[in-house]
Amino acid sequence: MNFQLWIVWALVGWAETAWSTHGERPSYMERLISLVGGASGGFLWSSVWPVAEQQAGMSVAATCLGACVGATILTDIVDVVRRMGK
């Protein structure tokens, strides 16, 4: 794995937080969780669908989609767990 890909995945996760908060300003904890979800989602996507050997540009675009999905899923899971505690 390339270090720059990890940075891109983390930034996609960080940026995804603004889309999933429904008009509310996200806290830094939500952004951090989304950052971790983006990095793990991008990594998992590239592990399951190894398009990196085929085309470099396609690989980055595909794994960014995986980072967005990973950040959304992890943020939603943490939100559900937080609401269950209330």
The residue ranges of every structural domain in the chain are 28-81
Query: Residue 26 has what pLDDT?
Result: 73
Amino acid at 31: R
The predicted structure's pLDDT at residue 20: 57
Q: What is the pLDDT of residue 22?
A: 59
* CA 1 vs CA 39, 50, 51, 72, 80: distances in Å: 12, 12, 13, 22, 32
One DSSP character per residue, 20-67 reads SSTTSPPPHHHHHHHHHHHHHHHHHHHHHS-GGGT-HHHHHHHHHHHH
Tokens 């995804």 -> residue: 16
* pLDDT for position 19: 63
pLDDT per residue as tens, the chain (86 positions): 678 888 888 888 888 776 655 566 777 888 888 889 989 988 888 888 766 556 677 777 888 888 888 888 888 888 888 888 87
Give the pLDDT confidence score for residue 49 in this predicted structure. Answer: 76
